Chain A
């Protein structure tokens, strides 16, 4: 499972950070930091990852299985 971040759509609302704090952070500048860009999500994080994709308010995240 991978997550693709659409940087054009992302507005930095930070909902993904709440859903999956180990995967996403809004840094001090207000920008989204995603640690696993282009990498597989560890199985232990699959639920959180799925939840972050579903709750992104502006559809900036996509799951790729």
Chain B
């Protein structure tokens, strides 16, 4: 008997400038050629279709995070053992320590404060009229709030965006973007080690709660700096991306903006649609822990690495009708994988939603039309997002 092994292969470079700036045609091409595609340039599998990405995210025994979720061994060796770089039962213990502060229930006490900050920012921007939405809107809001919630030392907030950006770049291959970020990351890790030792965190803050979890023996002291980093790094760049993309998409689709203004109960679905269509983190890797055969015969052998392309799954025409369209009334939008899914599903998604909903609510109340100019997209290994977006708010 002859066994035919099917190995759909592509030499596409998902990390070239061209591909990073306009990724969606490549994603479609990968979806078209197989349930998993071998990326010959990087010697990893890629999954680009929704069903397979979803199934992999829900099968942590086959698709392990324990040896890191980046593309390069260099990064994976460093990140293994943190919250996103671990499997149950270790993962569940770390996740709980971070997650219980970020549940929608736990976040309720911050709701009024966040809404007031959103109102103040939108009011100021409306008054100003024209501005660059990336620094003035998308970056400014989370950066003005997250360090405070974390209890971060006040004089140490200047590097946060650079640290977060370098952290996500390093998930990619060992290219120039990653290499340029490594010294920045090293600086972050040194800072986190110092912070774990000095414990210079405001009482009753999220950071102080992590210290308490160490002191009660819930997690070992050596994990404190990792947990502080797990809290900080993912909370900025992703949210910044989604907030700027929201303005860009509403600016380009005024009829969708009118729908949300006419019915603000659409705000949660509209934000889901932003995250679906311009998924901030394009994806994460897993290690194939045991041989695995997919429904179309593609077989991945144990020990290979697999890149799960959330941003492609979210535009899979098999799941989302007219997938490239921005539609705030899309019926199955809540199924998107923009926050990942399953046990590693974004622990901060409640916080991201709270921030975004608050801002959109204030915009809906005041802004009739969002005018956007020519966007500049970031050249980044992991984050899909705007670098600049000229914006004018019309009331």
Contact = CB atoms under 8 A, between A and B. Distances in A.
B67 to A, nearest CB: 21
A10 B59 CA distance: 18
Interface residues of A, number: 18
B104 A12 contact: yes
Contacts of A30: 103-106, 108
A45 interface: no
Nearest to B342: A59
A59 B351 CA distance: 19
Interface of A: 8-9, 11-15, 18-19, 26, 29-31, 54-55, 57-59
B99 interface: yes
Given A12-B105, A58-B345, A59-B345, A18 B350 contact: no
Contacts of B105: 12, 29-31
B343 interface: yes
19 contacts: A11-B99, A11-B102, A12-B105, A13-B350, A15-B334, A19-B334, A30-B103, A30-B104, A30-B106, A55-B335, A57-B339, A57-B341, A57-B345, A57-B346, A58-B345, A59-B58, A59-B342, A59-B343, A59-B345
B349 interface: yes
Contacts of A9: 92, 343
A59 B341 contact: yes
Contacts of A19: 334
B258 interface: no
Interface of B: 58, 92, 96, 99, 102-106, 108, 334-335, 339, 341-343, 345-347, 349-350
Q: Is the interface of B mostly helix, strand, loop or mixed?
A: helix
Nearest to B107: A30
Contact of B342 (A12, A13, A31, A58): A58
Contacts of B92: 8-9
A26 B335 contact: no
A45 B96 CA distance: 31
Given A12-B105, A31-B105, A54 B335 contact: yes
A63 B179 CA distance: 45
Contacts of A55: 334-335
Contacts of B343: 9, 58-59
A13 B104 contact: yes
